[in-house]
Amino acid sequence: MKPSFEPLAKRRGPATGALTGIGAIGAIAAFTLVAALACDAFPRRSEGEKLWRKRCASCHGLDARGNTPGYMGNVNADLSDESWVGGSDDGSVENVVREGIFAKMPANDDLTREEMRALLGHFRYLRGERSR
């Protein structure tokens, strides 16, 4: 019997499709496993950090220092120091966040008590006053 020298691309048997299907399932399983493991590689954000990023970071920065393009040099945007206009206790900060400051900071009166507590907790974390 003479061996066949046909190119492999022309040889198609019934097992080719089955192997392709198994290979695709294996690739999907491998991707799913890698994606699941990658979730643990990235830190989970607290509810307070998510709110801070969504509502505060564009003006006050991710670190509360006010180093953003639109507010750099604005002393009121830097929340890391002790120069506060309305007080730095939780009640005063909550009032400013809820009511806003006319023409300077939008009101956030739609935050629930739990969201406000989470936001203040993250704010205190950024100031070094609390640990996570």
pLDDT digit string (tens) for 59-95?
Answer: 999 999 999 999 988 888 999 888 777 788 999 999 9
Instruction: Give the pLDDT confidence of 39-62 residue by residue, as tens digits.
Output: 666 678 999 999 999 999 999 999
Place of tokens 């009101």: 107
Domains: count for the chain: 2
Cβ(71)–Cβ(60) under 8 Å? yes
> Do residue 57 and residue 104 come from a single domain?
yes
% the chain with pLDDT above 70: 75
Q: Rounded mean pLDDT of 16-34?
A: 68
87 domain-assigned: yes
- Alpha-helical runs (H) found in the chain: 14-41, 47-55, 57-60, 90-99, 113-126
R_g of the chain computed on alpha carbons: 28
7 within domain boundaries? no
- Domain with 68 in it: 47-126
What span, in angstroms and rounded, lies between the C-alpha atoms of 28 and 18? 15
Cα dihedral value 69, 71, 72, 78, nearest 10: -130
Residue 16, pLDDT score: 54
Cα gap 108→112, rounded to integer Å = 10
DSSP state of 3: P
Would you say residue 9 has pLDDT above 60? no
Residue bearing the bigger pLDDT, 19 or 62? 62
Q: Is residue 101 part of a domain?
A: yes
Q: Work out the mean pLDDT of the chain and round it to a whole number.
A: 83
